[in-house]
Amino acid sequence: MLPKERGFIPKRALSYFILALSAVMLLAGCTSSSPTKESASSSQSPSDSQSPNAVKDELILAVGKTDVGMFDPKKGWGTHAQIRLTHSSLLTIDSELNFIGDLAKSYTVSDDALTWTFPLRDDVKFSNGEQVTAEDVKFTYEMLKEDGIKFDLSFVESIGIAEGNTIVITLHEPRSTFVSQLTEIGIVPKAHYDDNYSQNPIGSGPYKVVQYNDGQQIIMEYNPYWYGTAPQFKKLTLLLLAEDAALAAAKAGQADIVYVPPTFAEQKVEGMTLRAFESIDSRGIMLPAVPSGAKGKTNDKDVEVGNDVTSDLAIRQALNIGLDRQKLLDVAIGGYGQKAYCLCDNMPWFNEETIVDDGDIEGAKKILTDGGWSDSDQDSIVDKNGRKAEFNMFFSSSDQLRTDLSLAVADQASELGIKINLIGATWDEIYVKGKTAAVAWGGGRHHPHQLYTMNSSKVIDTSYHNMSNYRNPKVDEYLDKALTATTQEEANKYWKLAQWDGHTGFSGIGDAPIVWLVRVDHLYLANEKLNLGKQPVHTHGHEWALFGNITEWTWDN
């Protein structure tokens, strides 16, 4: 024992020595690195101080970590409002949500809503200097129609080119949401489009992509051939950072604007102010509407479908009126949001009859009792025929907001006697298991097409549409009528009826396959000198919703 002990002491001393040494080296590392950082920032500041009137023409942004369908419409570039920086589309929307021409000078629709005519601008060029022609538009639409995955253009009969640089699109049947797709589809050059387009994107937007490091950053520079108003900022560096890293970058002065989740909203960063933008970005709980045991598909994978608890209408309706939306807003997102009763609150196609007096615990308990649920064994969870009102709920664990909202929902549901077990997961797992359990769901666009994809029984088993496997013939009928309406007014009438027609509907007071709860404000910490112009109501996706009016952004010295 003794010799061993002797060996031990020097070893211990040695380990202390090494510890001390590493501490010294760590400190030395810090001190040697900080001067370089200072010199980097000081090399920037003189240029600012010497010429205070110099126009700042570079922006560093950390507005979200997104890597969906990079730059290629076929991979989904445009489905989350991404295209405004890099591409132009036939139409676009202004800050009042009106449809205005972009690539098209104007547009006309025939009375039967089957023929759409777009005279194109003659002065539009891609970032490589080549003219954007009607051929390119025709190519883009035909390519996406053939692909049919990210953009459903199956109702398009043909795309023709008419005299005078004009595109004529004919449809099989009227489609009221087509006009929105026209704003989402970015035009790609026929001559340069291939499977590697993501690596070498050429578009006709105000910026061109000069560098994209997968999952790290996107660098964009001004496209000198851009036909619209020249933006003040000639270079954009988008850092793809996680939420807390983005905040750290803002504190270190390394970014001009960062996205912050509501939990970080009260952070004070010198020289930066909080910008909150109302959005139609809604959050709710998707609840399977069929009992367990069924099979189905999500994103082309075979999955299990159904949940025995959430398929009971009383449970879904009780959650709709029992959950206190204002309290959810206060607790989970610090009050930075609005109540939501549908996916489309305050939009022209929103049915205001679906607004309920929520937080009504007595009312919710009555619905449960009428539905046959009672707490027979006094464990404060209601049950029916021996089955407890208990189900799993998935949420994206990398999303702070959905995590917090899910916790708050589960907390409130326990007051109703409904036990929700939360499971954090990645989206890949959620798509596989999500049809057997509740999911913290999100959505919201400037157009009503999602009302169709989330509630029509015709899209069950395609992509991740209608995850609840909800099926109501009456709702299907209204949705079809809305989709094929010839005018927006007629379409809106049917969208509203699909939500609630006095007897049935997919909204919370109807069948409630998705209980919508809140609309979240999009929050950004931005340099106080950065003027973001007049922002429209944001759509789902805080990463790209900002950039619709990028050409209006200014730096006010």
Instruction: Based on the shown chain and the rule CB under 8 A, indicate whether residue 424 belongs to the binding site for other proteins.
Output: yes
Close Cβ partners of 412 (under 8 Å, ≥ 6 residues apart):
322, 323, 324, 327, 328
Q: Does 407 bind other proteins (CB under 8 A)?
A: yes
Contact stretch for other proteins (CB under 8 A) within 420-428, 443-451, 507-515, 516-524: 420-428
Residue type, 543: E
Helix locations, 51-148, DSSP H? 134-147
Q: Which residue among 361, 422, 459, 532 contacts other proteins (CB under 8 A)?
A: 422
Distances (CA, A) of 410 to 97, 288, 343, 356: 36, 17, 21, 20
Selected range binding other proteins among 191-199, 205-213, 221-229, 422-430, rule: CB under 8 A: 422-430
* Angle formed at CA 436 by CA 430 and CA 438, multiple of 5 degrees: 70
In whole angstroms, the minimum distance from the beta carbon of 437 to other proteins comes to 12
- Largest alpha-carbon pair distance within the chain? 101
φ, ψ of residue 197 to 5 degrees: the values are -55, -35
Q: Is 404 in the site for other proteins (CB under 8 A)?
A: yes
Per rule CB under 8 A, is residue 331 in the interface with other proteins? yes
**CB 137, CB 187: distance < 8 Å:** yes
CB nearer other proteins, residue 404 or residue 521: 404
- Residue 458 contacts by C-beta under 8 Å, 6 or more apart in sequence? 476, 480
Residues 498-537 that bind other proteins (CB under 8 A): none
Which of 112/244 has CB closer to other proteins? 244
Euclidean distance between CA atoms 260 and 243, whole angstroms: 6
Segment contacting other proteins (CB under 8 A): 84-92, 208-216, 263-271, 523-531?
263-271
Site string for other proteins, 12-51 (x = CB under 8 A): ----------------------------------------
Smallest distance, Å, CB 502 to other proteins? 36
Identify the CA nearest to 205 among candidates 184, 182, 222, 219.
222
Segment contacting other proteins (CB under 8 A): 59-67, 366-374, 401-409, 443-451?
Answer: 401-409
Nearer to other proteins, 331 or 356 (CB): 331
Question: Token digits for 440?
Answer: 């913290």
Stretch that binds other proteins, among 36-44, 81-89, 395-403, 454-462 (CB under 8 A): 395-403
481-to-33, 171, 498 alpha-carbon distances in Å: 65, 16, 10
Rule CB under 8 A: say whether 332 interacts with other proteins.
yes
Other CB atoms within 10 A of residue 72 CB:
19
Does position 359 bind other proteins by CB under 8 A?
no
Strands (E), 301-418: 301-305, 337-339, 383-384, 387-388, 390-396
| Total number of residues that touch other proteins (CB under 8 A) | 27
The distance of Cα 30 from the centroid of its chain, to the nearest Å, equals 39
What x-and-dash track marks residues 333-352 binding other proteins by CB under 8 A? -x------------------
Taking CB under 8 A as the criterion, the residue among 170, 217, 397, 554 binding other proteins is: 397
CB of 251 to other proteins, least distance (A): 8
Binds other proteins (CB under 8 A): choice among 113, 247, 257, 416:
247
Q: Which two tokens stand for residue 335?
A: 């009050």
Does 463 contact other proteins by CB under 8 A?
Answer: no
Point out which span in 58-66, 326-334, 345-353, 530-538 binds other proteins (CB under 8 A): 326-334
Which range in 138-146, 217-225, 260-268, 464-472 contacts other proteins by CB under 8 A?
Answer: 260-268
Q: Does 228 bind other proteins (CB under 8 A)?
A: no
CB-neighbour burial class of residue 20 (10 A; exposed 0-12, middle 13-18, buried 19+)? exposed
- Is 363 a binder of other proteins (CB under 8 A)? no
> Contact between 279 and other proteins (CB under 8 A)?
no
> In sequence order, which residues have a C-beta less than 8 Å from that of residue 183 and are 6 or more positions away?
89, 90, 91, 92, 93, 99, 102, 446
Tell me how long the chain is.
Answer: 557
> Where do contacts with other proteins occur on this chain (CB under 8 A)?
1, 5, 243-244, 247-248, 251, 263-264, 266-267, 330-332, 334, 397, 400, 403-404, 407-408, 410-411, 421-424
